[in-house]
């Protein structure tokens, strides 16, 4: 039996994990390490690591500009959709 609110909590987390999976897939498809993405973004490996981890954090939300830089570093375009 599910606890009350469990489904709502899962749905909220599902969006963050889907976004993280998208970032990691883009980096993987580009064949890049965090260090290589960082160099292309003009930042540090630890900043890229924090960015990837921040998508699972309820207290930190990366900016659109940062996500766009990450996408471009991976040879992608950032597109936001609502479904």
> Quick one: pLDDT band at residue 48, thresholds 50, 70, 90?
very high
Angle of the 64-73 helix axis to the 6-30 helix axis, nearest 10? 40
Query: Cα torsion for 74, 67, 9, 21, to the nearest 10°?
Result: 0
pTM, full prediction: 0.81
pLDDT digits (tens, 9 = 90+) for 6-24: 777 777 778 888 888 999 9
Domain parsing of the chain, residue ranges? 6-73
Alpha-carbon Rg for the chain, nearest whole angstrom, is 14
Tell me the CATH number for domain 6-73: 1.10.260.40
- Backbone φ and ψ for 44, nearest 5 degrees, come out as -105, 160
């Amino acid at each position: 039996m599910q606890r009350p609110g469990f489904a709502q909590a899962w749905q909220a987390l599902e969006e963050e994990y889907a976004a993280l999976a998208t970032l990691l897939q883009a980096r993987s498809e580009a064949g890049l390490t965090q260090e290589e993405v960082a160099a292309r973004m003009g930042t540090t490996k630890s900043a890229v690591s924090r960015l990837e981890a921040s998508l699972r954090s309820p207290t930190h939300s990366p900016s659109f500009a940062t996500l766009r830089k990450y996408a471009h570093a991976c040879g992608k375009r950032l597109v936001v959709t609502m479904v």
